[in-house]
Each structure stands twice: as C-alpha cells, then as structure tokens.
Structure 1
Amino acid sequence: MRIGLRTVKTGVSAALAMILANALQLLYAPSAGIIAVLSVTNSKKSSLQTGIYRLFSLTLATLISYICFSLLGYQPIAFGIFLLLFIPIAVSLGLSDGIVVSSVLVTHYLVEESMSWGIIFNEYLLMTIGVGFALIANLYMPNAENRLKEDQQIIETMFKKLLTEMSSYLKQEITEQKLLENCNGLLSFIRQGQLRAQTYQENQWVVRDVYYASYFAMRRSQVSVLHDMIESLDRIEVVEIQVEKIVALLEYTSETFAEENDGNEILARIFDVYEEYRQMTLPISREEFENRAELFQFLQSFKSFIEIKAEFSQRITE
C-alpha cells in the first residue's frame, strides 16, 4: 500500500486543525478537521482559492440562514428552505465549492438554536482554522519540473517514432491503423503533460512559468496536424519516384526532431520538395492529377506542422 504526499498532508492538517480548535474550546471542533480534509488540493493556487471562496460561501450561508431561522424558527423546514435559496445563489456566484461545508456549519446554528455573534464567530474560526492548515500544508510542493522535462523527452521520442513510421507507411511497411493508434497515444500523453504543467504553474506564487504549458499546447497542435497528414497518406497512391522525396523529408525530420530545433531548415527542405513537384511533368489522367493534389496537400500540412514549432521557438526567444 502506497501513501501519497497529499494523503499525508491531509491527515496532518486535519489533526492539527482539530487540536487547535479543541485548544480554543470551540464548539464542534472536529468540523475544523473535516474542513481541512476537504481543502487540501493539488496546488497552492487552488488551495488558496478554495479557502477564500469558502469564507465567502459561509458569509452568504450565514445571511440566508439568519433570514430563514428568524422567520420560521430553528426547524428542519427552515433549513430545507435555506438550502433551496442558498444552493442556486452560491452556484450563480461561483461558490459551489463551499456549499457542502457551509451547509454543515449552518446546522450548528440549527442545533444551538442561536445565531449570536459568539456562535457565528465560532463557525468562522472553524472555517479559518480548517482552510488555514490546508493552505499551510500545501505550501510544500515537490518540484515537478524534472517530471515535465522527462515528459518532453518522451513526447519528442514518440514524435520521432511516428514520423519514422509515416515514412515506413509510404514504403508499405506499416498500416494506417497502426499510425492512427500511435498518434492517439501521443495525444493522450500530451494531455497528461498539460495537466501536470498547469499544476506546476499554479504552484508558483509570484513568477508564473508559462513555458511548459505553452510547450505542451504547441505539441498538441502539432499532433492535430499530424493526424491530418496520416489521413492524407492513406489517400496517396504510392509511386516510388513521387514519394521518395517525402520519405527522405520524413526521415530527416525524425532524425532532427528536438525541442531546440527551430524548424527553419526543415521548412527550407519542404519548400525545395514542393518546387520539385511543381516542375514535374503535368499529370495526364484524373488519377494522376488527384494523387498529385494529395501530395501537395500533404506538403502543405507538413509545412503547417513545422511552422507551429517555428513560431513557438520565435516566441520563446523573444
């Protein structure tokens, strides 16, 4: 059985919250621990936002419950009407995350049959202690940058493999289905990387490093174009003399594919191949014309594929 870091932080923050609430002799002290459990998140930013939203949510819940209990008394029916009012208003204000916690704290008013300043202060202290210890626990986050760099290397290896397999397809050594499966696998891995990059970004208080988020977004855009290129390959009739230039282009791109490659050399080679196709003898049949059109379309997609990386490299250097 493996116990993760978040589990450890949840357990410690909950225990400390309950200890402090008991030491202050607050009513319903265990509630502070439950609030801490519900407030430990995956990032510093989300933990802070959760705490702030829950305090706002408690303020809204207190106001609405005061009206309901004042008019109908401390009865279950009053609590039910409170929920009918509180839930839609909280949702409309973007405070959905605090609905459950605030509703539980409102039941304390119901049980005590009082909304004196003392009991209200008690509930705010419970909320503050719970979210406070959760926030303190989340101040420590392991550095995820090494994992992001590993993800980059894996993604580039997967791209290289896919480009090589595309050249193998033109040599009739692999099926389109295999290409599409590998392309979808690459897209899935990039999506996971994007989530990790987002968490990494949210764990920085002052300087928000957007490089990794931008990198994964760039690679995801490239995968979309790559998918179109694979579909174009399926429509190309393989004639060795016509596709040998594309095969060489794919192999060269695979060999030089890297994070630091700005793509300018590849773009120049694509342009050369495009010009060679333009100077070929004009097609004499409909089939030849359509095949030539697919070749040009593939090159155009290839150009877009490389331009996405070239534009990214330019933005980074600027």
Structure 2
Amino acid sequence: MKIGLRTVKTAVSAALAMIVAESLGLLYPASAGIISVLSVTNTKKTSLLTGLYRLLSLALATAIAYVCFSILGFNAIAFGIFLLLFIPAAVYFKLSDGIVVSSVLVTQYLVENDLSWSIIGNEFLLMTIGVGFALLMNSYMPDAEKRLKEDQEVIETMFRKILNNMAAYLNQPGKERNLFEKCDDLKAFIRTGENWAKNHAENHLLSSDDYYLEYFTMRRMQSNSLKDMLRILEAITVEPEQVESIQKLLQYTAETFAETNDGQDILDKISQVYEVYRKKELPKTREEFENRAKVFQLLQVFHSFIEIKAEFARHQSEKTV
C-alpha cells in the first residue's frame, strides 16, 4: 500500500483543523476537518479558488437560509425550500463547488434552531479553519520542472525517430503503418506532459509560468500535423528522384529537432525545395499529376508543422522583450 503526498497533507490538515476548532470552543469541530479534506486539491491555485468560492457560497447559503428559516421556521420544509433556492443560485453565481459543504453547515443552523450572529460566526470560522489548513498544506508542492524537462527530451526523441522513419519509408506504401501507432503513443505522452505542465503553472500563485504548458500544446499541435503527413505519405508512389529533396528535408529536421530550434532554417530549406519542384518538368499523365499534387500537399503540411514551432518561438521571444 502506497501513501501519497496528497493523502498525508489531507490527513494532517484535517487533524489540525479539528484540533484548532475544538480549542476555540466551536460547535461541530469535526466539520472543520471534513471541510479541510474536501479542500486539499492538486495545485495551489485550485486550492485557493476552492476556499474562496466556498466562503462565498456559505455567505449566499446563510442569506437564503435566514430568509427561509425566519419565514417558515426551523424545519424540514424550510430546509427543502432553502435547497430549491440555494442550489440554482449557487450554480448561477458559479459557486457549485460549495453547494454540498454549505448545505451541511446550514443544517447546523437547523439543528441549533438558531441563526444568531454567534452561530453564523461559528460556521464561518469552521469554513475558514478548514480551507485555511488545506491552503497551508498545499503551500508545499514538489517542483515538477525536472519531470517536465525529462518529458521534453522523451518527446523530442520520439519526434526524431518518427521523422527519420518517414524519410526512410517515403515512396514505399505500407511500410509506414506502424508509424501511426507511434504517432498515437507520442500524442498520449504529450497529453500526460500537458497535465503536469498545467499543475506546474497553477502552483505559481504570484507569478506566471506557463512556458511548459505552451510548449506541450505546441508539440501536440505538431503531432496532429505529423499524422496528417503520414496519411499523405502512405498514398505517394512516384519516382525516387521526385521525393529525394523531401527525404533530405525530413532527415535534416530529425537531426536538428530540438526545443531550442526556432524552425527558421528549416522553413528556408522548405522554400528551396518548393523552388526545386517548380523547376521540374511538368507531369505528362493524370497519374503523374496526381502524385505530384500529393508530394506538394505533403510539403505544405510539413511547412505548417514547422511553422507551428516557429510561431511558438516568436511568441516566447516577444514575451521576454
């Protein structure tokens, strides 16, 4: 049995919340522990927002409960009317996350048969202590940057292998079929990296660090283009000299594929390859024309593939200026 860091933080924050609530003489101190359990999230940002939304939700719930209980009394019917009003109001104000917790705290008004300032203060203190200790525990988050850098290296290695294989299999229909599976594996790995990058970004409350998230998003877009290239590649059957320029281009891209490569050099080479094809003798048959069109289509998608990285590099350069 493995006990994770989040489990430890949840247990510690719940225990501390209950101890503090009890030491302050609050009613229902166990509620502070439960609130803390429900407020420990995966990132600092989500934990902060969860705590804030739950406090606002409790304020809304208390206002509605005050009206319902004042008019109908402290009974089950009044509580039912409260829920009929509170739930859609919470959804409207985007406070859905606090519906359950706030409703439980409102039942304590019902049990106490009281809605005085002292009991209201009791509920808000329980909520504050619960979310406060959850925030305190979540103030420590292990740094995921090492993991993200390692994922970058793996992704770039996967791209290089696929590009090299594409160069080798170009003009050999059927051999590229296993590359579709490799492309799917690449995309799945990128998705995992995106999730880690999102958590990494949300653990920086006072600064913005979305580089890794933007990086993995860029690579995911490139993986989509890569799959489009494979679909075209499997339909190309021309003379070897017709695809020699593209093969060299793919091989060069694989050799230079890296985080630091802004793609401009490759875009220049693509323009040169375009010129080579424009100067070639025009196709003489319909079949030659269709195959030449597929080669051009492959080149166009490849240009988009590199342009995605070039645009990413330009965006990052603008952010540092």
Q: TM-score range by the shorter chain?
A: over 0.9
- Counterpart secondary structure, 2:280: coil
Alignment of 1:10-49 (within 5 A): 10-49=10-49
Moved more, 107-116 or 176-185: 176-185
Q: What is the deviation of 1:136?
A: 0.4
Alignment of 1:138-149 (within 5 A): 138-149=138-149
In the alignment, the residues of structure 1 paired with residue 228 and residue 130 of structure 2 have an alpha-carbon distance, to the nearest angstrom, of 51
In the alignment, the residues of structure 2 paired with residue 63 and residue 261 of structure 1 have an alpha-carbon distance, to the nearest angstrom, of 58
Counterpart in 2 of 1:205?
A: 205
Counterpart in 1 of 2:121?
A: 121
In the alignment, the residues of structure 1 paired with residue 194 and residue 51 of structure 2 have an alpha-carbon distance, to the nearest angstrom, of 25
In the alignment, the residues of structure 1 paired with residue 116 and residue 273 of structure 2 have an alpha-carbon distance, to the nearest angstrom, of 81
Aligned pair count?
318
Counterpart in 2 of 1:178?
A: 178
Q: Deviations over 1:169-225 (max 9, x none)?
A: 215386443222221221122122112111111111222112112211211221121
- Counterpart secondary structure, 2:234: helix
Structure 1: stretches of 5+ with no match in the other structure: none
Q: What is the deviation of 1:311?
A: 2.0
Contact conserved, 2:47 with 2:134, CA < 8 A, in 1? yes
Q: Deviations over 1:252-272 (max 9, x none)?
A: 111111111121221222222
Please give the root-mean-square deviation of Cα atoms over the aligned residues, in Å. Answer: 1.4
Contact conserved, 1:165 with 1:174, CA < 8 A, in 2? no
Counterpart in 1 of 2:52?
A: 52
Give, as a single letter, the amino acid of the residue that structure 1 aligns with 2:233: L
In the alignment, the residues of structure 2 paired with residue 46 and residue 108 of structure 1 have an alpha-carbon distance, to the nearest angstrom, of 27
Q: What is the deviation of 1:238?
A: 4.1
Counterpart in 1 of 2:229?
A: 229
Moved more, 308-317 or 159-168: 308-317
Moved more, 69-78 or 136-145: 69-78
Alignment of 1:227-306 (within 5 A): 227-306=227-306
Give, as a single letter, the amino acid of the residue that structure 2 aligns with 1:288: E
In the alignment, the residues of structure 2 paired with residue 75 and residue 256 of structure 1 have an alpha-carbon distance, to the nearest angstrom, of 72
Counterpart in 2 of 1:164?
A: 164
Moved more, 157-166 or 12-21: 157-166
Shift in CA distance, 174/7, structure 1 to aligned 2, threshold 3 Å: farther
In the alignment, the residues of structure 2 paired with residue 81 and residue 165 of structure 1 have an alpha-carbon distance, to the nearest angstrom, of 66
Shift in CA distance, 7/247, structure 1 to aligned 2, threshold 3 Å: same
Contact conserved, 1:14 with 1:32, CA < 8 A, in 2? yes
Structure 2: stretches of 5+ with no match in the other structure: none
- Counterpart secondary structure, 1:235: coil
1:9 correspondence with 2:19: no
In the alignment, the residues of structure 2 paired with residue 241 and residue 284 of structure 1 have an alpha-carbon distance, to the nearest angstrom, of 16
Counterpart in 2 of 1:150?
A: 150
Counterpart in 2 of 1:308?
A: 308
Contact conserved, 1:168 with 1:174, CA < 8 A, in 2? no
Moved more, 183-192 or 28-37: 183-192
Counterpart in 2 of 1:214?
A: 214
Give the alignment's TM-score, normalised by structure 1.
Answer: 0.96
Counterpart in 2 of 1:91?
A: 91
Q: What is the deviation of 1:21?
A: 0.7
In the alignment, the residues of structure 1 paired with residue 8 and residue 238 of structure 2 have an alpha-carbon distance, to the nearest angstrom, of 59
Shift in CA distance, 139/209, structure 1 to aligned 2, threshold 3 Å: same
Give, as a single letter, the amino acid of the residue that structure 2 aligns with 1:170: L
In the alignment, the residues of structure 2 paired with residue 149 and residue 238 of structure 1 have an alpha-carbon distance, to the nearest angstrom, of 41
In the alignment, the residues of structure 2 paired with residue 174 and residue 162 of structure 1 have an alpha-carbon distance, to the nearest angstrom, of 15
